[in-house]
Amino acid sequence: MIIVLKNNADAQKVEELKQTLTGKGFKLHLSQGENTTIIGLIGDTSNISEDWLYAKDVVDSVKRIKEPYKKANRDMHPSDTVVDIGGVKIGGGSFAVIAGPCSVETRPQMIEVAEDVKSSGAQLLRGGAFKPRTSPYSFQGLGSEGLKLLKEAKKATGLPIVTEIMQIGHLDLFEDVDVIQVGTRNMQNFELLKELGKTKKPILLKRGMANTLEELLMSAEYIMAGGNEQVILCERGIRTFETSMRNTLDISAVPMLKKKTHLPVIIDPSHAAGLKFMVEPLTMAAIAAGADGVMIEVHNNPEKALCDGMQSLTPKMFDDLMNKVKKTVPFFGKTMAAQVPVNR
């Protein structure tokens, strides 16, 4: 980190700043100009914020050389992290597909969709039990009853399950959940992230719809700093000025994240587009961009879905898509993850 001091800064205050910084364990590299001094801060600057420095009277500007995230940084861990969900691998060349309805609605719906996506080749089953809805009058999910149905579908098919947590008080209910999802609206719920850092479960962290990649990586860092390094990042579309789609899929996020971090990166084309006809092209784009997987909403009767029917594929559409995915993934140098039944 480089700190440029103000011209003719008060010598006493400069001395105080230098002492504070050495007291924090940094080595200082001073470059004294005619009027200005530049301090090069040598050491781990991840726990120093720019704001803290700007609050000092003598500081003119601050430039961070190193990213503020450590554990998520590829510099610290050059090889890809592979998240292993009971044998289903995401990352390190292994491409996994998570599929299922937006929301868990009924037992027959859940079992039927689970069996369908399994026979098409999905490795993981999704379904929301606690739903973050924009309107308090919309279907809010079945809650703990939904989790029970999801677990029944897991038992029936052997597919590991992925579902969203909205508050930490629910964590006990997630004991048999294989991957805990943090949705776009909770990406910066730091207390939730800290608690998930204490768990041993893989976490699917979705990018906030108005957050930068650095903010996404800092949220991953919260989980990792707590000791849980099993984090899968998910780009699910961001807010832009475009209104013809639900969100704009930031496909550039994939190669950029793969450069900055060793964590696996997946794409959610369903929430990105909000329209079923776009799910296939966006899935293909995800594979070509180097994603480690996709998460796709599938419903046995999208017209009657209680949530996100417009973007949900029918099982037949999903099956057709999976046939293309299976052919495309090897072309881009990855292999499809194996289906590994979980029996818990």
CB 289 → Mn ion: shortest distance, Å? 22
Interface of this chain with ligand PEP, residues 209 to 248, rule: CB under 6 A: 236
312 lies in the site for ligand PEP, by CB under 6 A: no
Among 181, 236, 308, 322, binds Mn ion (CB under 5 A): 308
Q: Which residue is nearest to ligand PEP (CB)?
A: 183
The interface partner of residue 197, options being Mn ion, ligand PEP, none and the CB cut-off 5 to 8 Å by kind, is none
Which CB, 132 or 330, lies closer to ligand PEP? 132
268 lies in the site for Mn ion, by CB under 5 A: no
Q: Which residues does 178 contact at the CB level (< 8 Å), separation at least 6? A: 85, 86, 124, 154, 160, 161, 162, 201, 202, 342
298 lies in the site for Mn ion, by CB under 5 A: no
128 lies in the site for ligand PEP, by CB under 6 A: yes
269 lies in the site for ligand PEP, by CB under 6 A: no
Which two tokens mark 151?
A: 């677990």
Q: Taking the C-alpha atoms of 84, 85, 89 and 95 in order, what is their torsion angle to the nearest 10 degrees?
A: -140
The interface partner of residue 229, options being Mn ion, ligand PEP, none and the CB cut-off 5 to 8 Å by kind, is none
164 lies in the site for ligand PEP, by CB under 6 A: yes
> Cα(178)–Cα(86) distance, rounded to whole angstroms?
8
> Cα(344)–Cα(332) distance, rounded to whole angstroms?
34
Closest CA to 283 of 23, 97, 58: 97
Q: 261 and 254 in contact (C-beta within 8 Å)?
A: no
The interface partner of residue 132, options being Mn ion, ligand PEP, none and the CB cut-off 5 to 8 Å by kind, is ligand PEP
Which CB, 258 or 271, lies closer to ligand PEP? 271
DSSP assignment of 262-327 equals: SS-EEE-HHHHH-SGGGHHHHHHHHHHHT-SEEEEEB-SSGGG-SS-GGGPBPHHHHHHHHHHHHH
Rg (CA), the chain: 23
CB 144 → ligand PEP: shortest distance, Å? 17
**Buried b or exposed e, range 51-63, using 16+ CB within 10 angstroms:** eebeebebbeebe
105 lies in the site for ligand PEP, by CB under 6 A: no
Which CB, 221 or 268, lies closer to ligand PEP? 268
Which CB, 164 or 250, lies closer to ligand PEP? 164
> Cα(193)–Cα(195) distance, rounded to whole angstroms?
5
330 lies in the site for ligand PEP, by CB under 6 A: no
The interface partner of residue 164, options being Mn ion, ligand PEP, none and the CB cut-off 5 to 8 Å by kind, is ligand PEP
Binding track over 97-136 against Mn ion, x by CB under 5 A = -----x----------------------------------
Which CB, 71 or 126, lies closer to Mn ion? 126
Q: 100 and 94 in contact (C-beta within 8 Å)?
A: no
> Cα(17)–Cα(15) distance, rounded to whole angstroms?
5
Which CB, 133 or 194, lies closer to Mn ion? 133
Which CB, 239 or 344, lies closer to ligand PEP? 239
Amino acid letter, residue 116: D
> Cα(134)–Cα(184) distance, rounded to whole angstroms?
12
Q: Binding residues for Mn ion, per CB under 5 A?
A: 102, 308
Q: Binding residues for ligand PEP, per CB under 6 A?
A: 102, 128, 132, 164, 183-184, 206, 236, 268, 271
